[in-house]
């Protein structure tokens, strides 16, 4: 409970202020002169002292000094406008009001001055946590020294490996909990390396092994050096979701180069020299993107590795780029099937690395969601924007709602953060207006109020706010509320846009996205290719193998299509046993290769009928391309559909490209088995 000491001898004003503050749950005590002030403050510690300057027995300046000698709580001065101007600068008071006061404004700002209990506890906690982290940070260099010594001792005598492993393990577990995530990850790499020796004792006698241990140790040290810089940017903010990029290459020099580059770009890069290492990282954390060398050594297939990384639950939608000097069609097809959005050449990497990674970070933020923040106070607005950007959102800011609708239309938004007190229109009115429009009727809107006033909350909800939060805004709370709104919106969208059985886009979502992508290709003079495919003799599969087996076929093909290709390629279930695949920026030839590979893979998957017998399934596909086969969505679908039916008539189990008949000869002829 907040206690306010009101020093005043004008009963009318005292009455007004008292009832205002009491209505908001505060306890109000009175004092009329210097001696009662002393008595009250000694007996009942106040949280705020309000001084009215019209006091005859002492000047307000003297009273301020008396209060200051007794307590450190904020002092609010109520005074004549002329007096306020004269004494303001020298007094260093948090609030000065000139009479007559605006009662609501007055109460609200007094409330804002007194931290609410919960906020106090949390800010206190954050401070304690910051202290703990400081202690940890101070001890970190000596921990790293101990770790280095343990590694050296282990190299001399493998009996000490266990000690080094334990130290790395501890650092792995603790560093991240103290906010030093990069140190934790690097230590995890070291821990895993050292654990390998337990399985294979031979390693301990190999120089190459100790070299990689040394480099992992070096990584750990480097990330420890970098941590304080990040701290300086975000003091006390614990919510920063890392936006890290995974780089996989067997060449340590290249990895060092990338690390150096990424530091300059302020991108968090995690490097892995082996596929095992890369997968270990991918299983434990989400990445924004992965950059893989196509040539990862003789026994490693980089494309398979990319697919496996994408199969880890946290990295289903990460961007993938390959580094290679080889631009052959089959390599490109394999790369795109493995999800590559970008091909980089090692020789020109310095320039293209920066632009590619920045584009990846940007598009990943767009994927997470776009937030528009409307708040007139520049500092507050920037704080909200910083917090939300740290949480991985793409954020833009406005100081008033005047151009809000234009901004919404131009940039789109997944969440709107509205302050209640805006110039001209209030946030509540803005919210009400948006709710009346069809287009923005469902947009999640989060309203921030500085009044912990139930009536205002009710008004905000009545106006259609999805959520209301009051100042002071805690970073964690802001992110948690934004996340919750986004997640709800995403679930609703998914339910409408996703086909339940295949997990691909629904027909409607595919059409909408296709239209958008086609428009962009036209503007940017890029080609586009469409694959329209139909599972062969699916009715017979359902009739002879059972409907559940038919469902499994649809689900498996959907899964295969989800696991392949780039994030930007569209994959949808058209209906029944028909599917569509759209490759923006690619020619028909490419799509034909890709469809052939898909057919080959799909036709080798064994299915089991409801009674347990094994069977195989094929499909037939028609390809069409913009601009060669037409300019409109309808023309492209019609053309692909014509080719698909030509393929069905000429025997099924084949891909029909532009005019020429392409048959995949070595595949299993599944129809024999039906």
Element (H, E) at 251: none
Among 132, 329, 491, 540, binds another protein (CB under 8 A): 132
CA distances from 475 to 239, 309, 378, 567, 586 (A): 7, 31, 17, 31, 43
DSSP string, 534-566: EETTHHHIIIII-HHHHHHHHHHHHHHHHHSS-
Residue 143 Cβ vs another protein, minimum distance, rounded to whole Å? 9
Buried/exposed 520-551: b ≥16 CB within 10 Å, e otherwise: ebeeeeebbbbbbbbbbbbeebbeebeeebbe
Judged by beta carbon, residue 22 or residue 177, the one nearer another protein is 177
Smallest distance from the beta carbon of 566 to another protein, in angstroms?
A: 27
Cis bond upstream, residue 100 (ω within 30): yes
Q: Which is closer to another protein, CB of 226 or CB of 498?
A: 226
Cα separation values, 272 from 74, 120, 290, 296, 540, Å: 54, 43, 11, 11, 48
Phi, psi (rounded to 5 degrees) for 381: -60, -45
**Nearer to another protein by C-beta: 184 or 369?**
184
Q: Which of the ranges 17-25, 118-126, 365-373, 610-618 carries the binding residues for another protein, by CB under 8 A?
A: 118-126
Which region among 38-46, 124-132, 325-333, 650-658 touches another protein (by CB under 8 A)? 124-132
Q: Does 392 bind another protein (CB under 8 A)?
A: no
Distance between CA atoms of residues 591 and 582, nearest Å: 9
> Strand, coil or helix: what is 493?
helix
Q: Helix axis angle, 329-337 relative to 302-311, nearest 10°?
A: 20
* Cis bond upstream, residue 565 (ω within 30): no
- Comparing CB distances to another protein, the nearer of 188 and 570 is 188
Chain-centre distance of CA 245, in angstroms?
13
CA gyration radius, the chain:
33
Nearer of residues 87 and 246 to another protein, judged by Cβ: 246
- Under rule CB under 8 A, residue 242 binds another protein: no
State how far the Cα of 622 lies from the Cα of 646, in Å rounded to an integer: 8
Distance CA 497, CA 491 (A): 10
Closer to another protein at the Cβ: 282 or 521?
282
Number of other CB atoms surrounding residue 72 within 10 Å: 7
For residues 89 and 91, what is the distance between their CA atoms, to the nearest angstrom? 6
Strands 415-419 and 445-449, bridge-based pairing: parallel
Q: Which residue in the set 87, 188, 248, 361 belongs to the binding site for another protein (CB under 8 A)? A: 188
Nearer to another protein, 279 or 361 (CB): 279
Q: Of 26, 83, 23, whose CA–CA distance to 51 is shortest? A: 83
Using the minimum distance from each CB to another protein, give the nearer residue, 181 or 249.
Answer: 181
**C-alpha 415: how far from its chain's center?**
14
Q: Give CA separation, 62 vs 11, 34, 88, in Å.
A: 21, 9, 15
Q: Name residues contacting another protein, limited to 621-660 (CB under 8 A).
A: none
128 near another protein, judged by CB under 8 A = yes
Minimum CB separation of residue 176 from another protein in Å reads 2
Residue 243 binds another protein, judged by CB under 8 A: no
Q: Give the whole-angstrom CA distance, residue 397 versus residue 413.
A: 12
Is position 421 an interface residue for another protein (rule: CB under 8 A)? no
Smallest gap from residue 607 Cβ to another protein (A) = 25
Nearer to another protein, 188 or 422 (CB): 188
Binding-site residue total for another protein (CB under 8 A)? 25
Span from 22-30, 122-130, 554-562, 565-573 in contact with another protein (CB under 8 A): 122-130
The binder of another protein chosen from 116, 155, 242, 284 (CB under 8 A):
284
**Cβ closer to another protein: 236 or 441?**
236
Of 52, 181, 337, 419, the residue at the interface with another protein (CB under 8 A) is 181
CB contact at 8 A, 343 and 321: yes
Q: Give the three-class secondary structure for 76.
A: strand
φ, ψ at 47 (rounded to 5°): -95, -25
Q: How far separated are the first and last CA of the chain, in Å rounded?
A: 78
Among 239, 385, 482, 623, binds another protein (CB under 8 A): 239
> Does 121 interact with another protein (rule: CB under 8 A)?
yes
CB of 136 to another protein, least distance (A): 6
Pick one of 96, 184, 243, 588: the residue that binds another protein (CB under 8 A): 184
Stretch that binds another protein, among 120-128, 288-296, 547-555, 617-625 (CB under 8 A): 120-128
What is residue 505's DSSP assignment?
A: B
Looking only at residues 140 through 179 of this chain, which bind another protein when binding is defined by CB under 8 A? 166, 169-170, 172-178
Near another protein by CB under 8 A, which window of 127-135, 292-300, 324-332, 571-579? 127-135
**74/115 with CB nearer another protein:** 115
Q: How far apart are CA 352 and CA 357, in angstroms?
A: 8
Among 101, 234, 238, 349, binds another protein (CB under 8 A): 238
Report, in Å, the least distance between residue 559 CB and another protein: 18
Both structure tokens of 148: 């280095």
Write down the least CB distance from residue 312 to another protein, Å. 10
CB of 132 to another protein, least distance (A): 6
Mark the segment that binds another protein (CB under 8 A) among 6-14, 181-189, 268-276, 654-662: 181-189
For residue 476, state whether it binds another protein (rule: CB under 8 A): yes
Which CB sits closer to another protein, 249 or 483?
483
Q: Starting at the earlier edge strand, list the strands of the sheet with 3-7.
A: 27-31, 3-7, 48-52, 75-79, 95-98
Which parts of 371-390 interact with another protein (CB under 8 A)? none
Q: Which of 136, 386, 615, 645 binds another protein (CB under 8 A)?
A: 136
| Least distance (Å) between residue 284 CB and another protein | 7
Least distance to another protein from the beta carbon of 129, Å? 6
DSSP 628: T
* 174 versus 352: smaller Cβ distance to another protein: 174
Return d(Cα 36, Cα 528) in angstroms, integer. Answer: 83
By beta-carbon proximity to another protein, the closer residue of 136 and 538 is: 136
CB 463 within 8 Å of CB 536: no
* DSSP H or E segment with residue 134: helix 117-156
Q: Tell me the closest approach of the beta carbon of residue 388 to another protein, in angstroms.
A: 17
Q: Of 275 and 647, which has the nearer Cβ to another protein?
A: 275
Of 173 and 228, the one with the shorter C-beta distance to another protein is 173
Helices (H) and strands (E) in the chain, counts: 25, 23
Q: Give 39 or 311: the residue with its C-beta nearer to another protein.
A: 311
Name the 3-class secondary structure at 133. helix
Q: How far is the CB of 281 from another protein (least distance, A)?
A: 12
Q: Residue 415 has which token pair?
A: 């969440």
* Smallest gap from residue 262 Cβ to another protein (A): 22
Binding site for another protein (CB under 8 A): 121, 124-125, 128-129, 132, 136, 166, 169-170, 172-178, 181, 184, 188, 238-239, 283-284, 476
């Amino acid at each position: 409970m907040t206690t306010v000491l009101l020093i005043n001898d004008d009963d009318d004003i005292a009455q007004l202020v008292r009832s205002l503050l009491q209505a908001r749950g505060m306890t109000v005590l009175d004092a009329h002169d210097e001696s009662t002030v002393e008595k009250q403050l000694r007996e009942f510690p106040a949280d705020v002292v309000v001084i009215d300057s019209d006091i005859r027995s002492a000047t307000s300046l003297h009273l301020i000094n008396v209060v200051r000698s007794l307590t450190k709580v904020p002092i609010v001065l109520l005074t004549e406008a002329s007096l306020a101007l004269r004494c303001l600068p020298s007094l260093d008071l948090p609030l000065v009001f000139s009479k007559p006061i605006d009662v609501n404004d007055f109460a609200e700002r007094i409330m804002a001055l007194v931290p609410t209990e919960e906020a106090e506890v949390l800010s206190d906690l954050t401070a304690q946590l910051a202290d703990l982290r400081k202690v940890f940070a101070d001890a970190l260099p000596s921990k790293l020294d101990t770790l280095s010594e343990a590694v050296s001792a282990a190299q001399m005598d493998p009996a000490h490996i266990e000690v080094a492993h334990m130290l790395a393990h501890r650092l792995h577990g603790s560093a991240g909990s103290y906010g030093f995530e990069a140190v934790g990850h690097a230590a995890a790499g070291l821990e895993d390396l050292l654990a390998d020796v337990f399985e294979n004792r031979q390693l301990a006698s190999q120089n190459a092994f100790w070299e990689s241990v040394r480099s992992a140790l070096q990584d750990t040290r480097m990330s420890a050096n970098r941590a304080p810089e990040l701290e300086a940017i975000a003091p006390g903010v614990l919510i920063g979701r890392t936006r890290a990029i995974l780089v996989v290459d067997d060449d340590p020099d290249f990895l060092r180069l990338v690390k150096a580059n990424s530091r300059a770009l302020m991108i968090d890069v995690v490097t892995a020299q082996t596929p095992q290492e890369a997968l270990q990282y991918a299983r434990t954390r989400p990445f924004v993107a992965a950059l893989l060398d196509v040539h990862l050594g003789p026994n490693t297939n980089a494309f398979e590795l990319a697919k496996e990384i994408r199969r880890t639950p946290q990295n289903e939608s990460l961007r993938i780029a390959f580094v290679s000097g080889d631009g052959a069609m089959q390599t490109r097809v394999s790369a795109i099937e493995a999800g590559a959005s970008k091909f980089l050449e090692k020789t020109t990497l310095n320039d293209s690395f920066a632009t590619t990674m920045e584009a990846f970070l940007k598009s990943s933020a767009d994927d997470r969601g776009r937030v528009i923040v409307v708040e007139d106070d520049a500092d507050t607005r920037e704080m909200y924007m910083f917090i939300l950007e740290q949480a991985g959102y793409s954020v833009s800011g406005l100081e008033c709602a005047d151009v809000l609708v234009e901004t919404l239309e131009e940039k789109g938004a997944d969440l709107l953060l509205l302050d209640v007190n805006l110039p001209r229109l209030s946030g509540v009115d803005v919210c009400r207006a948006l709710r009346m429009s069809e287009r923005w009727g469902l947009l999640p809107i989060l309203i921030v109020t500085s009044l912990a006033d139930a009536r205002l909350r009710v008004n905000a909800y009545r106006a259609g706010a999805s959520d209301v939060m009051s100042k002071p805004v805690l970073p964690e709370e802001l992110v948690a509320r934004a996340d919750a709104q986004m997640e709800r919106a995403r679930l609703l969208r998914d339910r409408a846009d996703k086909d339940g059985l295949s997990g691909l886009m629904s027909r409607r979502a595919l059409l909408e996205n296709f239209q958008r992508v086609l428009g962009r290709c036209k503007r940017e003079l890029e080609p586009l290719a469409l694959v329209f495919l139909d599972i062969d003799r699916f009715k017979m599969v359902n009739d002879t193998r059972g409907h559940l087996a038919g469902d499994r076929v649809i689900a498996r093909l959907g899964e295969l299509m989800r696991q392949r290709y780039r994030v930007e390629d569209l994959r949808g279930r058209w209906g029944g046993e028909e599917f569509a695949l759209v490759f923006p920026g690619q020619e028909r030839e490419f799509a034909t290769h890709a469809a052939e590979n898909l057919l080959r893979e799909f036709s080798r998957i064994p299915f089991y009928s409801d009674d347990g017998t094994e069977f195989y399934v094929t499909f037939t596909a028609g390809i069409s391309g913009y601009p060669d086969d037409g300019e409109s969505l309808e023309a492209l679908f019609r053309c692909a559909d014509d080719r698909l039916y030509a393929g069905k008539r000429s025997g099924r189990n084949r891909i029909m490209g532009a005019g020429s008949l392409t048959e995949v000869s070595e595949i299993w002829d599944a129809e024999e088995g039906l």
